[in-house]
Structure 1
């Protein structure tokens, strides 16, 4: 019976409104007091039923909730035959509850929208080479899938053939389509706007980025912040205090109506709803804009951050080394580059990939007697030639004499923050390449936005040499730069800064960043980073879009301020109502409850503003 009544709460609210309207029509239109009193009595009984059930359920778990206050107040009003106020109070309370639930559902719309975008089917290449449509749950890793124009990408994968533009708004929040070519990564839930592509399934089911986003946002929205936990504790003691106050007032004044009115005016409805609305709206905004905030607690901590520490590679830089400078000595350039490419093709080192990408199409030769020199490079034979590819130390070991020009070039390349790759043929230097990671486009402006948002210190910690790190820091205007940092060194540095009273956010993407992500007050991971880094972090920037970081910080600051505003509004309304009751004659239960519901509406509207939050950029 209790479940049935609670399930019909909205219907009871509607019936109560009709009965109240009918009662006032009877009194003022038909001058029929029997209709007036009868309608309001029925409205009071119907309206108080679900409230009383909720009060009983709360008392069973030893919680004196707001429902208890309203139930006692309504029963008391009926007993003293104040049917008008008892009916209006129950209706307003139920209507306020309806508004609260509707608002929370609306602020959770980010989850609903994401879920609706989830792909249901996939077109799989079968053993006979034909493509057939199957359920997305039947897709396995390494399956070849066909995606047509306008279709959703069913899983996370790698593009094998074709090209096109994909709308990745469900992942990154960015509506501008992204161009995809062979070897590009694609994500489940995104939409192919033109072209036809074939992809290899890399992540399926719950492992896809799309599903992980939904799970993370659901967990975040169900969590409670410090402010919410405080309000829970506050309500636990506040509500009984209001009951005691009402009893004391009745004891001394013998005015039961005054005591009941105090119970109604003391209901902290806006206080209970204000903070959750702010939190859920803030998390929903983040989900729509490529920022995953893992819980309401993160909002409070992130909003107070005054120092942000960055790993360099894959965070401030692209994480994809490229040849930035090159010098060629002597003639037969095409043949020399062919030799170099042939040797580097034997290596899986990131610098080798950069060299091959720079050389591009060339003639390849048969490589023999390959020897990997630890910490130096590669030595191999091509025909009658001995090829050495590596650093300066390898050149010395191979007795390669560097000319004065070559020495100056080496010094200049190192000064510019390059990793050096030297190529010698038969102990004669032929090619010098300077390779360095490129700074992410737009990072400098994003860092300036962080400073405007109140971040005082921007620090880079990297395992690279100090010269390279200094150059990055100088170009980006960072506060501090520290190179040659191992994972334990980064953690020790963060602990030292925290001991000095700084609130630290750490931004990284690798397994080696996990200790720092966990240790910092706020850990921020790039979505392209390792699973360990993402799981350890508090915030994830989708699509590794660094520009989301200022939006995330601005959003948490606005959400934190919004929570404080709602608390002030809620507490202020209660104080004003109680003061009006004591120092004026016009305050009563109905007016008090109406003001309460209006205050709930105000905090709801204030919280909903966060759904439209956008960082103001110069």
Structure 2
């Protein structure tokens, strides 16, 4: 009720002045034909001009105190001059039209900020805290980290947290842009503002209040919508000279023509209202539309830069691929061993390794319930551990498992340990690598046992993302990866990448980005922000994938794609291009309108009231044009809507 009352008060305040002054004009028109009431008619017209013009004059004085010559000053001078000359109708019409225009502008500008309003509305006011089996309703902001909250079907999640008990589905579209409900089970993360579409969840709060992902998104969108784009900086400088220039023009025309009313009309006609608002309204609408799609754009500067991107450099692991390697092949080369033997010994050796591929091997062995040694040899937590393990960078690992020597790695590891007859293993490894898999040769007690292959699954939407980027105007899509050439080539071929750079260290990725920029390209780098940090920082636009729940990504990325949907990337670039096109259209519309009106005044036919009416119409037209960005773009099979 408080919110509704507040909105009602704002609406009443916004339209009070236009309604009162409009009523006075109507009274003046009714009294005008009666000779005895002519003085009352003039007084009503002046009163209308004063009622509508007082806020304009106050704004003009505030601007002058800050050494700003703005639109309000032009209208104030013209209104006072018209009253002095006895042109009461013109004075009233100009101020009332300006007041009506301002009310309409405020209403439509609020519409462009609807995305931010909608985000704020997502935050629930209350939470059900579960303590000792009892449910207690408390303000959402009062929930403490570590407390357990209950999320029932149809309720919004009040905190960021981890599901401890229960299962259910959540609509996460407000955070990640994902259109389908996401299933949640113990151990899964949930975000404040998302809505339960079924089930009952007990969630342990990890981030509350201003620390939640939703709060960070709102804060980032607020900052972004208030940030100034390079084109806006230019227009602000232009307006700083343009408005005084109109004052000078009006004075010169008045002196040369001797027509003071013509000079005052020029002041009104030359108001650069549509020009001043043309760019910020487009930026606000564009950033708001992006936020509703789960895309955070840091500000107008990055929106403009994203519209100029010609090359997109994409990290492979975790971006084009899921970042979760899995075992794909077990090739046995020692006839005395079985598939279970090779996988089991490899898993026991890799159990002590921190390499990402080790987890895939250990997981595969666990799924097959493989145990090559007794339970007495288990480590803490029930994990089978090697006796010793040594990691050899660039080659693999050596380990001692139950007194036996186990080597797992590439051909270089076999050569370094002088393993006999490695040819068959090397051939198999090369064949697996050519198919986009990472081969790991397993050697037990100096004899080649077999070859395992691990692959990171290519995302199903990766190829669509590359095609959509080209459709959005990107010239080249380059994959940067630390993987070997064969694996990189296989993934690149599956996705349709234009260019592949493999076996790269983080500094190598930085060098690639720098060279592309030196060649005149505007480069967007897409990665996870960890090992890609130097390249992300150097690129013209750094884009973080799957940033939901990552405070660092939300705060540091130029553009943060909150979900894991790769098609959000071309959506962001396409939206940036559409926003900049809208900015250019608005500027052209504003300049053409002012030029035509000035010509109409100088060559006759355009009065002060007509000029103000056209001026306010152009302002609204600029805003409506920008509001088109809030609509979903034309459906495409490649780009998510």
TM-score, normalised on structure 2? Answer: 0.89
Q: Does 1:350 align with 2:356?
A: yes
Partner of 2:470 in structure 1? 451
Partner of 1:237 in structure 2? 241
Q: Does 1:488 align with 2:507?
A: yes
CA-CA distance at 1:10 after TM superposition: 3.7
Give 3-state SS (helix, strand or coil) of 2:511's partner.
helix
Aligned 8 A contact 1:514 1:532 in 2: no
Moved more, 276-285 or 407-416: 407-416
What are the equivalent positions in structure 2 for 1:482-561 lying under 5 Å apart? 482-528=501-547, 531-561=551-581
**Cα deviations by residue, 1:419-454 (Å, 9 ceiling, x for unpaired):** 223444554544422112222211111111111221
Q: Does 1:73 align with 2:102?
A: no
Moved more, 537-546 or 552-561: 537-546
Partner of 1:4 in structure 2? none
Residue among 449, 464, 487 paired with 2:483: 464
Aligned 8 A contact 1:508 1:533 in 2: no
CA distance in 1 between counterparts of 2:416 and 2:601 reads: 93
Residue among 256, 260, 269 paired with 1:256: 260
CA-CA distance at 1:12 after TM superposition: 1.7
**Cα deviations by residue, 1:494-537 (Å, 9 ceiling, x for unpaired):** 22221221111111113222222221111111134865454332
Residue among 64, 67, 78 paired with 1:62: 67
**Cα deviations by residue, 1:193-249 (Å, 9 ceiling, x for unpaired):** 111223343333333221111111010011111222222111111111111111111
Label 1:268 to 1:77 Cα distance change in 2 as closer, same or farther (>3 A). Answer: same
CA-CA distance at 1:261 after TM superposition: 0.7
CA distance in 2 between counterparts of 1:227 and 1:439 reads: 39
CA-CA distance at 1:142 after TM superposition: 4.5
How many residue pairs get aligned? The number is 609
Structure 2: runs of 5+ lacking an equivalent: 1-11, 378-383
Give 3-state SS (helix, strand or coil) of 1:206's partner.
helix
CA distance in 1 between counterparts of 2:399 and 2:324 reads: 25
Aligned 8 A contact 1:506 1:516 in 2: yes
Label 1:437 to 1:49 Cα distance change in 2 as closer, same or farther (>3 A). Answer: same
Partner of 1:372 in structure 2? 389
Residue among 84, 87, 111 paired with 2:89: 84
Structure 1: runs of 5+ lacking an equivalent: 1-6
Aligned 8 A contact 2:425 2:441 in 1: no
Moved more, 149-158 or 131-140: 131-140
CA-CA distance at 1:131 after TM superposition: 5.4
RMSD: 2.6
Moved more, 185-194 or 405-414: 405-414
Q: Does 1:159 align with 2:163?
A: yes
Moved more, 192-201 or 288-297: 192-201
Q: Does 1:594 align with 2:594?
A: no
CA-CA distance at 1:558 after TM superposition: 0.7
Aligned 8 A contact 1:517 1:533 in 2: no
CA distance in 2 between counterparts of 1:271 and 1:219 reads: 23
Aligned 8 A contact 1:100 1:273 in 2: no
Label 1:428 to 1:192 Cα distance change in 2 as closer, same or farther (>3 A). Answer: farther
What are the equivalent positions in structure 2 for 1:266-305 lying under 5 Å apart? 266-305=270-309
TM-score, normalised on structure 1? Answer: 0.92
Label 1:390 to 1:497 Cα distance change in 2 as closer, same or farther (>3 A). Answer: closer
Partner of 2:110 in structure 1? 105
Label 1:31 to 1:362 Cα distance change in 2 as closer, same or farther (>3 A). Answer: farther
CA-CA distance at 1:53 after TM superposition: 0.7
Aligned 8 A contact 1:420 1:432 in 2: yes
CA distance in 2 between counterparts of 1:615 and 1:75 reads: 49
Q: Does 1:36 align with 2:41?
A: yes
CA-CA distance at 1:25 after TM superposition: 2.5
